Amino acid sequence: MDAVGWRGRRRSGGHSLPPGEPGGGQLPHEQGGSGGDRPLEATLTIDALGRKCPIPIIMAAEQIRDIPVGGLLALLADDPAAYTDVPSWCRMKSHELVDRYDHATGWAFLIRRSY
């Protein structure tokens, strides 16, 4: 299983969260067509832990183009500025911040590409 329960490609390695840690394990479910709920799955996970802002935003901006419109990008960041900068970037660029999860070393952001 990938970091924070997200499956998909992962860029920059090294850090992952165990399922028992806050923010680890499975993400919320979204409504499926006929089968009920299904787990959210990120197309791409970016590990920006240990990098100072604005690097996590720059990494997200460059790599969100690599996923299809409507796809999910998981961004791991621990710089305190990322807590407010990532949601602000999502609003500014009209991408949907699906959720933000706290964990021991920072946050995991789940972003849906809008265009």
pLDDT digits (tens, 9 = 90+) for 12-68: 443 333 333 334 434 444 444 444 455 688 999 999 999 999 999 999 999 999 999
Secondary structure letter of residue 80 according to DSSP: T
Q: Which two tokens stand for residue 42?
A: 């990120």
**pLDDT tens digits for 76-103?**
999 999 999 999 999 999 999 999 999 7
Angle at 16 between CA 38 and CA 100, to 5 degrees: 55
3-state helix, strand, coil in the chain (%, to 5): 25, 30, 45
Instruction: Please indicate whether residue 90 is annotated as part of the active site.
Output: no
Domains of the chain: 3-14+40-112 (3.30.110.40)
Q: From the candidates 2, 21, 53, 105, which is the catalytic residue?
A: 53
Burial status of residue 46 (CB atoms within 10 A of its CB: 0-12, 13-18, 19 or more): buried
